[in-house]
Amino acid sequence: MRGGKLASVGNREVVNSQINSGNSTLLFVWEDNNAVTEMIAEKSQPIVHRYKIPVTGGFSAQVRLLIPPGADLSGAIKYPMLVYVYGGPDSYQVTEKFNIDWGTYLVTNKSIIYAAIDGRGSGLMGNDMLFAGYRHLGTVEIIDQINVTRHLQNKLPFIDRARTAIWGWSYGGYATGMTLAMDLKGVFKCGMSVAPVTDWALYDSIYTERFMGLPTVADNLQGYEQGQLLNKVDNIKNKMYYLIHGTLDDNVHYQQSLMLAKVLEQKDILFRQQTYTDEDHGIAQSRAHLYHSLENFLDECFQTLS
């Protein structure tokens, strides 16, 4: 076949893949996803809202909100919001990809707005935005999570600014801790970090040095110190914080969370800590316990009943 092209079409993010000819004539359907469509037809699905929010440098952050079905958007009812962050270089969360996960559950069963924000440093939006945080991890991507969330709180009357939280895993766990530490305006009430990096000098060099250079005076020691969560924890005292890690994590070593816990304890900052014995970075064997624990903490943060 010459001149053929693969197209994805669909509604409400459930897509089918089809092969078209060069003049867009349908040749055959590669995958119709009818089974998925039928499976979710009788299920509650979030309302999806997308926004572009201006951020520093002339860029725009991409935002996706999953809103509870049947939600009153007039502002008469305020809904709590949980921001999911990853935030690592060239990562992105806001796509057209169909997905059902813990966030979907929170939206449809707990009436929580679930947000994702792709700010500076994210992929798919050009090299200038991608390299905005080069050699400065823990800066622009964190600032954008805070400022964009505050913008949403100010502009959307149905968001409860008193019940806004953030959570993430791996780089997202780091970004969560940094966000709470750098949030001086009280945008977030609480945060949950799973397997976070806390000191880039202790993460694997093939990743870290690609984005940060070397932790030397001659190269980028200042960038490493600026991006170290251990140096910025004082403001976490004003937040509810949950720190989670597996002891067998061979990606982000358990040492990273222990160092953070030690600093928090020495500064008399109250927090909750969960250790998963013999679990690696994915905490796969205790996943149900993990999500039930996160939900329990979130209920306390939002002061709702389970």
What pLDDT does residue 11 have?
A: 43
Active site residue 136: no
pLDDT mean across residues, the chain:
93
pLDDT over threshold 90, residue 261: yes
Strand order in the sheet with 113-118: 47-55, 59-67, 113-118, 79-84, 159-169, 190-194, 240-246, 272-276
Q: Answer yes or no: 219 catalytic.
A: no
Give residue limits of the domains in the chain: 1-42, 46-304
pTM of the model: 0.92
- 111-123 pLDDT per residue, tens: 999 999 999 999 9
The one catalytic residue among 49, 281, 286, 293 = 281
Q: What is the CATH number of domain 46-304?
A: 3.40.50.1820
Order of strands, sheet of 5-11, starting from the edge strand that comes earlier in the sequence? 5-11, 14-20, 26-31
Which pLDDT does position 304 carry in this prediction? 52
* Catalytic residue from among 122, 151, 170, 257: 170
Judge whether 283 and 276 are in contact, CB under 8 Å. Answer: yes
pLDDT, tens digit (0-9, with 9 covering 90-100), for 161-202: 999 999 999 999 999 999 999 999 999 999 999 999 999 999
Question: Is 151 a residue of the active site?
Answer: no
151, 199, 249, 253: the catalytic one is: 249
